[in-house]
Structure 1
Amino acid sequence: MPETSTSLFRSLRGRVTGIAVAGTALALLAPVPAMAASAQASATAADPVSVLKYTAKERREALAYWTTARIKAVGKSVDLGPTGPKAKPYKGATLKTVGRLFFVNARGADTWCTATAVKSANRSAVMTAAHCVRMGSSPGNTNTSMVFVPAYDKGKQPYGAFAVRSAATPRTWENDSLNDMSALVVDADKKGRELTDVVGGQPISFDRAVGGTVTALGYSATRPQLGEELLRCVGKTKRENGTQMIPCDLTGGASGGPWLADFDATTGKGKGVLVSVNASLDSLEPTKMYGEVLRSTAKKVYDKAQKS
């Protein structure tokens, strides 16, 4: 996939990772000084979770930045080919918890991922992929202007937009591109309501056995939807290459979208337990979607977010 049409595509353990999309020309990355990166790693080596925080001013600016016109423009600027055959439009009951996550990536390009509101102590946690927050193995290259729009559909924002105030990722992702998952914390809405008080939250499971049927969801930049409509794949998980895999051809923009177990993709009924998120596609077989098995590191990331 050419870099001009996707933001963070690159090889990793025989896979293509970073299925977010970029809608504008890409700028050069600013290098991270080796001594500064080393000092940072030493200072935080004891903490397995890295937390990126946004100021109140940055959060206000993020909400102002993502206008209806800008959202429409970023969707129209990327076309990653036809949808399917495995990915199909989701037609079940409205999933209030799943939405588009808009941001400006580390290269300075407008882009988006997919994210999910989950049950949490602070009622404000959202799960997505780590590469939707920052570049792997590059501590200084982080994303900005992050806004979560739950239940986004064809320009409609029925529950408004929530600015991201912090993003927790595994330290192993920041330094070594391992464990591609992240837990965000969002601000309350304009009426002072916390996220899951407005849209609810999916339960999340850690150390769940690989092998069950899941529904993967995401706002893929494939046509005719081009990120405007939620797409889904349904398949049985299989352990592969140290993670888990399902047959799925969702692509750029679907990054961070949930893998839901105990869920009926046709009706939208069932608990919809989140067991992973879309992380990467196989570089040779783009019908294989990979997601991390959520274990102790993922639980620490989630706990860091839900308790903040």
Structure 2
Amino acid sequence: MPRATVGALIAVGTLLASALQTGAAGAANGPSANASQSRLASFWTAERMRSATPLDLLPVKAGAVSETVRRGAERLVKPTLPKLPKVPSVREAGGPWTKGGAVVKTAGRVFFTYQGRQASCSGDAVTSANKSTIITAGHCVKLKGAWHKDWVFVPAYHDGQAPYGKWAATKTLSTPQWTASEDINYDVGAAVVGPLDGKKLTDVVGGQGLAFNTGYNKQMYAFGYPAADPYDGKKLIYCSGTTIKDPLLSKDHGLSCNMTGGSSGGPWFTSFDESTGTGLQSSVNSFGYQFLPNTMFGPYFGDDAKNLYEKAQTS
């Protein structure tokens, strides 16, 4: 069945106008950044960030999806932020996040060059041993066999502003399945960024927690910076509600959400506390079905997502 990646895969038209190719080949790891922090900070001007567009939609081959997602023991990583009291989820299909808290600093826009043009996604800073790890979607680091270049993370982005700086990637990675064949069930990517002004990323903006192998049908919050109509990429947008397990071809989470292009790679949280803006990241904005509007899907964080995180945080 046709499907479309959300966020990085829209340049024209609507989010669900086409579908995602899941069969391209790639390398084991993304390239190290070959540009200095200062060069990329100069390259990504306010105007370039404002005008960056999501990537084009791609055709899908329905049979390319894997049969299973490897699952192991549950693992939780606490955020390097306040503790997480449990609060009820409030259903929201897509609206500006106005409650503040840590998420406005840990979430941000991702900018990169793909096929010679500037494009955007979303990402999230997470607790990590190197204090420098960002989780995003696989197609936000690599697509059609090519690793993106000039990759930077801008936490708390707002209308061309970078209040906490532009953090250049020294390394980008994805799950083995996304790297090898761009399998939508494993559309998870990561980036390691270099220090900025002598400081590490999570020392500046904090880091959210993570959750792996926690099952389905969870109350979750999804965040991102959609840039395609009706959004403009200037604000952090969120959706919330109880997820479903994708009843069709994938093994992923589904959530009622109308976020569009540019939101790909934005974090999904369980145990999210609205008062502190903290949670445990357990998926990312990934794709939508053409025939199922206003529903976002995100990959299940199983063993391979956990291994990707471990590799990134120790890089």
Smaller-chain TM-score bracket: 0.7 to 0.9
Q: Paired residue for 1:232? A: 238
Residue type of the alignment partner of 1:143: H
Counterpart of 1:20 (choices 8, 23, 28) is 8
* Partner of residue 214 from structure 1, selected from 208, 212, 220: 220
**Residue aligning to 1:88:** 95
Partners of 1:270 and 1:23 in 2: CA distance: 31
AA aligned to 1:269 is T
Which structure 2 residue ranges, 5 or more long, are not aligned? 13-23, 57-91
1:263 maps to which of 268, 272, 281: 272
Alpha carbons 2:97, 2:238 under 8 Å: kept: yes
Q: Are the counterparts in 1 of residues 155 and 162 from structure 2 also a CA contact under 8 Å?
A: yes
Report deviation, 1:219: 0.6
Partner residue of 2:31 out of 53, 56, 65 = 53
Aligned to 1:282: 289
Partner of 2:74: none
Is the 1:251–1:281 contact (alpha carbons within 8 Å) kept by the matching residues of 2?
Answer: no
**For 2:34 and 2:305, how far apart are their aligned partners in 1?**
27
Matched residue of 1:51: which SS? coil
What is the deviation of 1:224? 5.8
Mapping of 1:1-308 within 5 angstroms? Answer: 13-20=1-8, 50-57=28-35, 59-74=37-52, 86-94=93-101, 95-105=104-114, 107-135=115-143, 138-139=144-145, 141-178=146-183, 179-189=186-196, 191-223=197-229, 225-240=231-246, 241-264=250-273, 267-269=274-276, 271-308=278-315
Give the SS at the match of 1:205: strand
Aligned pairs, number: 262
Gaps of 5+ in 1: 1-12, 25-33, 42-49, 79-84
Q: Which amino acid aligns with 2:190?
A: A
Residue 27 of structure 1 corresponds to which residue in structure 2? Answer: none
In 1, the alpha carbon distance for the partners of 2:108 and 2:268 equals 14
Aligned 8 A contact 1:22 1:112 in 2: no
8 Å CA contact 1:23, 1:110 repeated in 2 = no
Residue type of the alignment partner of 1:90: W
> Which amino acid is the alignment partner of residue 2 of structure 2?
G
Deviations 1:75-113 (A, max 9, x none): 69x9xxxxxx921111111421000001111x2221100
Contact 2:220 2:272 survives alignment (8 Å): yes
Shift of 1:221: 1.4
For residue 9 of structure 1, what is the aligned residue in structure 2? none
1:222 Cα offset (Å): 3.9
User: What TM-score do the two structures reach when normalised by structure 2?
Assistant: 0.77
**Contact map agreement 2:131 2:202 (CA 8 A) in 1:** yes
Partners of 2:303 and 2:113 lie apart in 1 by 30
Code of the aligned partner of 2:44: W
Task: Report the Cα offset of residue 70 of structure 1.
Answer: 1.3
Q: What CA distance in whole angstroms lies between the structure 1 residues aligned with 2:198 and 2:243? A: 39
Taking a change above 3 Å as real, the CA distance of residues 268 and 188 of structure 1, as seen in their structure-2 partners, is farther
Deviation at 1:300, TM superposition (A): 1.1
Residue 108 of structure 2 contacts residue 155 of structure 2 at CA under 8 Å; is this kept in 1? yes
TM-score (norm 1): 0.78
* Structure 1 pair 109–22 and aligned structure 2 pair: CA distance change class (3 A): farther
Q: Find the residue that maps to 1:110 and give its secondary structure.
A: strand
Deviations 1:268-308 (A, max 9, x none): 52531101000101111121111111111111111111001
* Whole-angstrom CA distance in 1 between matches of 2:175 and 2:123: 17
Give the distance between the partners of 1:170 and 1:75, measured in 2 at CA. 25
Give the secondary-structure state (helix, strand or coil) at the position aligned to 1:263: strand
Please list the CA deviations of residues 146-192 of structure 1 after superposition, one character each: whole Å capped at 9, or x if unmatched.
11000112332211110011111112112222200011100111x21
Q: Is the partner of 2:304 in helix, strand or coil?
A: helix
Distance 2:33 2:53 in 1: 27
User: What is the CA–CA distance in structure 1 between the aligned matches of 2:214 and 2:53, rounded to whole Å?
Assistant: 35
Structure-1 separation of matches of 2:52 and 2:11: 5
Relative to 1, partners in 2 of residues 1:271 and 1:55: Cα closer, same or farther, differing over 3 Å? closer
